[in-house]
Amino acid sequence: MTKSIVTLLLVCAFASAGAANPTLTIEAGQPVANVSPMLYGLMTEEINHSYDGGLYGELVQNRAFLDNPNAPVHWSVVTDKSSAATMTLDPSQPLNDALPVSLRVEVSEASKRHPAGIANDGYWGIPVRPAARYHASFYAKAAPGFSGSVIVSIQADDGGKVYARGEVSGLTQDWKPYEVTLETGKAKPTAKTRYVLTLDQPGKVWFALVSLFPPTWQDQPNGFRPDLLQMLVDLKPKFLRFPGGNYLEGDTVATRFDWKKTIGPLSQRSGHPCPWGYRSTDGMGLLEFLRWCEDMGAEPVLAVYAGYSLGGKHVNPGPDLEPYVQDALDEIEYVTGPVTTKWGAQRAKDGHPEPFPMHYVEIGNEDWFDRSGSYDERFAQFSDAIKAKYSQLKCISTVGTEQPETLRVHSRQPDMLDEHYYRPARTFLNDSAHFDNYNRKGPEIFVGEWAAYETSFPPWNGRSAKELPTADMTAALGDATWMTAMERNSDLVKMQCYAPLFVNVNPGARQWRPDFIGYDTLHCYGSPSYYAFKMFSRNVGDEILKASLDGAALHYSVTKDSQRGAILIKLVNPQAAPQPLELDCKGVTGLKPTGTATTLAAAPDANNTIDHPNNVAPVTTKVSGVKPVFVYTLPADSVTVLQLDVQ
């Protein structure tokens, strides 16, 4: 926090009532509705290397050699002046049908002092930290005559230093799995590294599914990167919408998120091309998404493939669609069914006997792109089948009221509509009454993707590639305004989530901006929008209080938190000057004289980056002089959550 902000906050705390300030009148005794307990959640899909090279712990890129059919991309040959080797993709020696190619390494010259083999460059390097344990594994088989060892190591990218080392021997002529633990010593954190497998004598060895995991969240196998998961846990999200987004749909029907191919042992997961331009390993499969929900204490909002893919093809409603409907029913059974059901038993076999709690299923994603008009019938077919078996589940239509009437679902009444808003920050500021006049008799609203952008062009414009991966304070002000709009209307807007969630900031990793959380191989940071969201999602309250604002271009939402015994006032001041605001709390007794203010304030163009992660971050201070009527001055360009405690 800069010195000027500290000074400003002190000034704010001591400002007093009197002059004709704008007023926020709060009817503390008049709750108008309950705040939706599910309001704040997260949305995720494979984009910007969110999982592979992101949350999913795997460190080896192209571990199954399927990323490119013509070359073992991300792999190179390791030799020195006294050793020689070649590597070749070998479809004639597959591990199995799911992983139909292996890497043949032929070492013609090598010794213990001069081993030769292969190296992987990882996802922009392999993260090395001191005293860290890594789980290395691979499948291998050798041609007759090889009796040496495979030396496994994490090295500097020029081979000049070995950070961790292990050895595997006893290879046979049949495929067998091998594993070894590697441990670093006093190393300085670095990502200028590579992962190396070498042979200490000449021979021919085939490798398949070469994997390396660092320490993961709670040491779970096939687990998650701890720093990223911690950033999400800190948001206290109530749900996770997955697996997309476009990632659910795929470019074609064949490359959709085909959940049955994403469960079970990794050796049975082929992965598939992701619509964002790279191949997904599917290491992050359905059960991993569910475990991720569990780790955050959040509920899945499961999006099921509904027969439309991004290339524009749809599956005709009726008999053609039936297998996809059955897939969705099976998927719901995998998530929620007891172990006595077929798919519940499969989940137990996969390591999770307990079913997951789930209340919402989304049918497709952005089906307004399907200009054939088939969504209405497709939705009906899915929703009828789901409701027949799971009457308690709410079915979400992906076409909301922001889309033309003709594209919406009419033949059924969806329980909820998913609306997406990627808008200039200015639009959010001008539209904070957006939901105020929505029809309360209509379906509930899920704002399943939203984000403000500060650029003069939208995220999908190619010029976005030149901008920072995360948006600046201008966007955060728009985002916070939008959140006040949703929270004030959360009798109707039951759930909302920013998108996209993650971006790997390394060159070439990104397809979309702005994003919530950025990271490289070793570090991560939150955007100003992340912090605005955190301030809201950790201060939700349970009742929306009646409030009205008079005389200022501010945005607000006021709730009561019965558990904390507090009034929570969220305020956005998008103006370039501080704004004194009279707070008139009617119908309140026992206000404590001291409250707290959590403030996110920064110049509009201020941003966080991987090198400067804390330029813009919230600060919590004491507020004294709290009375039923008092003045609080909001800093320029700020988001504030005031907590007024009641005795």
Residues that bind ligand AHR (CB under 6 A): 45, 47, 244-246, 365-366, 449, 499-500, 512
Altogether, the residues listed in the chain come to a count of 647
Give the CA distances from residue 441 to residues 32, 399, 417, in Å, rounded to whole numbers and listed in that order. Answer: 16, 17, 13
Distance CA 477, CA 115 (A): 57
CB of 558 to ligand AHR, least distance (A): 30
Distance CA 149, CA 140 (A): 11
CB 120 within 8 A of CB 61: yes
Name the H helices within 510-550.
528-537
Nearer to ligand AHR, 324 or 512 (CB): 512
CB of 245 to ligand AHR, least distance (A): 3
Distance CA 92, CA 107 (A): 19
Nearer to ligand AHR, 200 or 366 (CB): 366
Nearer to ligand AHR, 244 or 478 (CB): 244
CB of 366 to ligand AHR, least distance (A): 5
Q: 323 CB contacts (<8 Å, ≥6 apart)?
A: none
Q: In Å, how far from its chain's centre is CA 27?
A: 37
CB of 295 to ligand AHR, least distance (A): 23
DSSP 8-state secondary structure symbol assigned to residue 349:
H
Q: 45 CB contacts (<8 Å, ≥6 apart)?
A: 242, 243, 244, 245, 246, 247, 248, 500
Residue 564 one-letter amino acid: R
Nearer to ligand AHR, 203 or 244 (CB): 244
Closest CB to ligand AHR: residue number? 245
Beta partners for residue 76, in sequence order: 119
DSSP 8-state secondary structure symbol assigned to residue 612:
S
Nearer to ligand AHR, 178 or 368 (CB): 368
Pairing outcome for strands 555-561 and 543-550: antiparallel
CB of 248 to ligand AHR, least distance (A): 8
Nearer to ligand AHR, 513 or 560 (CB): 513
Pairing outcome for strands 116-120 and 75-78: antiparallel
Distance CA 391, CA 389 (A): 6
Phi first, then psi, for residue 237 (nearest 5°) are: -70, 150
CB of 551 to ligand AHR, least distance (A): 37
CB of 306 to ligand AHR, least distance (A): 13
Nearer to ligand AHR, 62 or 246 (CB): 246
Nearer to ligand AHR, 307 or 500 (CB): 500
Strands (E), 443-576: 444-453, 493-496, 502-504, 517-519, 524-526, 543-550, 555-561, 566-573
Nearer to ligand AHR, 107 or 495 (CB): 495
CB of 396 to ligand AHR, least distance (A): 13
Nearer to ligand AHR, 246 or 521 (CB): 246
Distance CA 201, CA 639 (A): 64
- Would you call the peptide bond into 243 cis, given omega within 30 degrees of 0 as the criterion? yes
CB of 462 to ligand AHR, least distance (A): 15
Nearer to ligand AHR, 376 or 449 (CB): 449
DSSP 8-state secondary structure symbol assigned to residue 610:
S
Distance CA 221, CA 218 (A): 9
CB of 414 to ligand AHR, least distance (A): 17
Distance CA 281, CA 43 (A): 20
CB of 563 to ligand AHR, least distance (A): 34
